[in-house]
Structure 1
Amino acid sequence: MSVDIAYPVFRTPDLALALSTARRLMEFGRQEESSVDVYAELGSIAEVRRVAKELPQGWFQGQWSFSEVDGVPQDELPPLTFEVLGPDLPTDPAAYEGRLPVKCSLDDQPVDSIEDTFAAAIGPNQGYIRWTRLCWPDVPEQDLYGDCIHAEVTLLLNTRTREFDEPADDYTVLVHVRSVNVDGRQLMKPYAHWLAEQEGLTIIGPGQPS
């Protein structure tokens, strides 16, 4: 099974600029079936409530352990151990004990349908906007082969890594290509370079594997 690797090609404290840059890169691979996913981790009850108000169609779920839900009927599950829409979030603060950060996500949305709303709602929280089902074209003049399986663009929000282990006060754009590692060398890295060059950009850090 093949996997992807994502290269950072742009970073800025200007969210609007980061979003517009990511969108322009996405357009190189956009197809009719392309879609967008959004995701955030909300570290306080106040932030959960604020984001739920701004993104009521989002799905919210708290932290949970398998032992809490194993064999428990769905109608008896503890609050926030399963996904709920924003309007259905519990109002009792006690329901959030041990559940933070609460995850907020919305997947498989049409391109250009949710990005602006989500970017406006993210605030200080870590998250991402990820465009999927893209298709990178062949670049025969440079002997570069495109890919329609791992072609994605991600805008990282308030973090510099896909694992959310490097908090930041800025925004990073990643371009995804197929990971083809031969003797420690990524053979598709030149394609990521080519994508970045289309917007006058360059790779600014190591690739982030999936």
Structure 2
Amino acid sequence: MSNSYAQPVLRTPDLSEAMTTVERLLGIADLRCLEVDFTARLSTARSYAAVAAAVPDADWWAAAGGGGSSERGDDPTACLPIWLQKWAGTPDMVDPFLAAIGDSPAAVRWDFNAWPAVPELGLDIGGTRGAFVTLCAHARDLELDEPADDYTVFVHVKQIEAERAPWLAAQVGLTVIGDLVMAP
């Protein structure tokens, strides 16, 4: 198994613009096997309650060294700040999740079957392990470490197919705006 590599294609203070870009990118993808993953770093009981309601059955663990986790059956509000993650969610969870996070750093990653072939670049269909779109909210990076007041959209590709990222950006009228980085 290998990691995908991601490159930012849009940074905007407007969530609607970010979601429109995500939808346009998904419009050129093969969405068979579509799943959506959710991650958030939460610091208050209120933010935890809202996000947990939006993405039920999410796992969580203490962000600090306390060791608390959903696996151990601990109380998340006693372990704040926490990381919350929900794998293999559905697209209908995206809007409630984004509404629930408030100003917490969070990411939504759409995981699907493949990017289209790009014959002019000598690229076949870009399949699993390199076919994702991520929207980071209130963070500039995929690890959610660099705080921001805006949203960043990333396209994921295989490292050996790095030229696919600028091509994908161009398909939705954008250009890449940062470096290609290994995704967590």
* TM class, shorter-length: 0.7 to 0.9
Kindly tell me the number of residue pairs found equivalent between the two proteins: 182
Is 1:162–1:208's contact at 8 Å kept on the other side of the alignment? no
Please give the alpha-carbon distance, in whole angstroms, between the structure 1 residues aligned to 2:81 and 2:139. 15
Aligned equivalent of 1:81: 69
Task: Label 1:139 to 1:125 Cα distance change in 2 as closer, same or farther (>3 A).
Answer: same
Measure how far apart 1:191 and its partner are: 0.9
Is 2:32–2:112's contact at 8 Å kept on the other side of the alignment? no
Out of 127, 137, 146, the position equivalent to 1:166 is 146
Structure 2 residue 166 is matched with structure 1 residue 193: yes
Measure how far apart 1:39 and its partner are: 1.3
Q: Cα deviations across residues 78-125 of structure 1 (Å, max 9, x unaligned)?
A: xx52249xxx984xxxx744x222222222123x32111111111110
Please give the alpha-carbon distance, in whole angstroms, between the structure 1 residues aligned to 2:63 and 2:69. 6
Give TM-score, length-normalised by structure 2.
0.86
Measure how far apart 1:171 and its partner are: 0.4
Is 1:37–1:109's contact at 8 Å kept on the other side of the alignment? yes
Measure how far apart 1:58 and its partner are: 4.4
Measure how far apart 1:154 and its partner are: 0.4
Computing the radius of gyration from Cα coordinates, the structure with the larger value is 1
Please give the alpha-carbon distance, in whole angstroms, between the structure 2 residues aligned to 1:152 and 1:41. 21
Out of 102, 109, 123, the position equivalent to 2:102 is 123
Please give the alpha-carbon distance, in whole angstroms, between the structure 2 residues aligned to 1:67 and 1:167. 23
Aligned equivalent of 1:151: 131
Aligned equivalent of 2:58: 59
Measure how far apart 1:56 and its partner are: 5.9
Structure 2 residue 119 is matched with structure 1 residue 140: yes
Cα RMSD after superposing both structures: 2.6
Please give the alpha-carbon distance, in whole angstroms, between the structure 1 residues aligned to 2:65 and 2:103. 29
Please give the alpha-carbon distance, in whole angstroms, between the structure 1 residues aligned to 2:59 and 2:120. 47
Task: Label 1:67 to 1:168 Cα distance change in 2 as closer, same or farther (>3 A).
Answer: closer
Please give the alpha-carbon distance, in whole angstroms, between the structure 2 residues aligned to 1:64 and 1:43. 9
- Aligned to 2:172, the other structure's residue is in SS state coil
Aligned equivalent of 1:38: 38
Please give the alpha-carbon distance, in whole angstroms, between the structure 2 residues aligned to 1:101 and 1:170. 21
